[in-house]
Amino acid sequence: MAKFKSYSTEQGELFPMYLSDWIPEDHLVRLVSDIVDQLDLTVMTNRYSHRGEEAYHPAMLLKLWFYGYATGVFTSRTLRQAMDENIPFRWLCGGHRPDFRTLSDFRKDHLESLPGLFKQVVHIAIQLGYVSLGHVSIDGSKLKAHASKHKSMSRDRMNQEIERLEKEIREALEQAGQIDDQENEEPLSLLPESVTNRQSRLEKIREALRQLEARKPVEESKTPDKDQFNFTDPDSQIMDTKTQGVIQGYNPQIAVDADQGFIVGLQMNPSSSDQHQFQPVLGSIRNITGKVPEKVSADAGYFSADNIQAATKAETDAYIAATRENKQHGNPYDKTNFTYIPETDTYVCPAGQTLIHKYTYYEKDPQKATQWVYMSDACLTCPFQKDCVKSGSGKRRVKRNEGDPIREAMRTKVQSDAGKDIYRLRKAIVEPAWGQMKECQGFRQFHLRGEDKVEGEFVLLALSYNLRKLHSAKYPKPSTVYKRERSAQKRKKAA
């Protein structure tokens, strides 16, 4: 017969007098506490009054939230529960037990102070030598909003719904009038309530339509009927993702330093496009660290002449992957495979035929970029016409604009041997940061609503991520030390 050790749930134990005896010296919670004690919290403390009951110290509440976001506790109720069940949280409280409402109000009231604290933490990392800004990589990731995509409605759908509700209200009121005439008494009790509910919904949709019109007028929209408005979080947008399908969410951006993986720049925007986020993120790096990185890399989502020029103006060496005209990998008839000859102002196609300049568009329109169109009559008899030409004229049209020389120079730069070696590092710099925030910290969805509050929560998430990085840099795991030593040996041999 097998032997087992006896156990009892009523077994008594002698707990230490101090909770700190149960927390190792290299524990993450100790580092969080030490860092917060070094921060300048004057902006927060000045908001408190000397009158009334004593308030919880903002340093204690900050430690709870920072450690909470670093360990996957994102709501005030779960944070309050952790104080009763988790020793590190109890240690941070110092004998106090703030309720969930106090925790929630503190986070909501001090979101605007978090960017300043984030900047202080980054400067601590710089002073410790963990951030050098030698190579910074930029990337974004779409995260779910605290709202359902099923609570969104397009402009066309709202107009249809307004028309339907107005008709139903009119018919219900007419019916109520007929009942009054026939029975000479008050209308049925359900009828006024149904009319009231419809009128309330009608006003909500009308107000949503007014807000959508103020944000994106019909005359300024390319697809006015498809413009969406979410009734739960109006600032969030419908976005298409690679792994989650269509979500209601935001598209935050981060800039990560190559040395230890610290986030040194960030940007929040509800737009699903990355292209217009490059310059704000680059600007945030300067605002937070006081200087621009020596090198910056980004994927094809940021590829544009404006972004390349912005990097040049900022005096940083940019490596931005180029996009393809047809977005088809390996397409032999993509525009990038047509060679431009500056001396003759012509293009040479993959089949060796010459395309000459035929038309010029927007030459006198200052609002639009000038475009030059190149075509060739040889397309009509080319054996590759079916694969190359998509237009009904039977001729391939190649457009060139003022930004093409800038984009072509960047494409050549990234595709060079040196450019490939630098750009190849991008995945190992920025993508692990998103993976750690989503998997290790468990952050998959925002818990606040509205762009301003969501931006504050994202700063809180990035700050907690940097605290984890400070901890891993100060107390590296043996396996990490071994990998770093092996990597240093390989670089020494290669040199």
How much is the pLDDT for 190? 47
How much is the pLDDT for 330? 67
Question: Does 495 score more than 80 pLDDT?
Answer: no
Q: Say whether 221 sits in a helix, a strand or coil.
A: coil
Mean pLDDT value across the chain: 88
Helical H runs in 87-223? 87-93, 100-109, 114-127, 155-183, 190-215
Q: How many Å apart are CA 89 and CA 33, to the nearest integer?
A: 11
Helix or strand holding residue 138 (H, E): strand 135-140
Residue 194 near residue 171, CB atoms below 8 Å: no
Residue 125 near residue 466, CB atoms below 8 Å: yes
Q: How many Å apart are CA 350 and CA 438, to the nearest integer?
A: 44
Question: Does 326 score more than 60 pLDDT?
Answer: no
Q: Which amino acid is at 325?
A: E
How much is the pLDDT for 188? 46
Higher pLDDT, 310 or 192: 310
Question: Does 88 score more than 90 pLDDT?
Answer: yes
Q: How many Å apart are CA 436 and CA 401, to the nearest integer?
A: 41
Question: Does 479 score more than 80 pLDDT?
Answer: no
Q: How many Å apart are CA 137 and CA 264, to the nearest integer?
A: 10
User: Mind listing the pLDDT tens digit for each residue in 181-211?
Assistant: 555 555 444 456 777 888 888 888 888 888 8
Percent of residues, the chain, with pLDDT higher than 90: 53
Question: Does 442 score more than 90 pLDDT?
Answer: yes
What are the C-alpha distances in Å from 65 to residues 325, 454, 463, 475? 46, 15, 11, 22
How much is the pLDDT for 67? 97
Span 264-292, mean pLDDT?
A: 92
Span 398-406, mean pLDDT?
A: 87
Q: How far is CA 307 from the centre of its chain?
A: 18
Beta pairing class for 317-320 and 295-298: parallel
How much is the pLDDT for 317? 95
How much is the pLDDT for 327? 55
How much is the pLDDT for 196? 81
Exposed, middle or buried: residue 297 (CB in 10 Å: 0-12, 13-18, 19+)?
buried
Which residue, among 60, 67, 30, 33, has the nearest Cα to 45 in the 3D structure?
60
Question: Does 14 score more than 80 pLDDT?
Answer: no
User: Per-residue DSSP letters for 52-77?
Assistant: SSPPPPHHHHHHHHHHHHHTT--SHH
DSSP bridge partners of 152: 230
How much is the pLDDT for 185? 52
Residue 285 near residue 292, CB atoms below 8 Å: yes
Query: Torsion angle, CA of 31/37/39/42, rounded to 10 degrees?
Result: 150
Lowest-pLDDT choice from 83-92, 129-138, 233-242: 233-242
- Confidence band (pLDDT; 50, 70, 90) for 170? confident
Stated pTM of the model: 0.85
Question: Does 482 score more than 50 pLDDT?
Answer: yes
Span 389-416, mean pLDDT?
A: 88
User: Mind listing the pLDDT tens digit for each residue in 96-131?
Assistant: 999 999 999 999 999 999 999 999 999 999 999 999
Residue 29 near residue 92, CB atoms below 8 Å: yes
Q: How many Å apart are CA 172 and CA 114, to the nearest integer?
A: 52
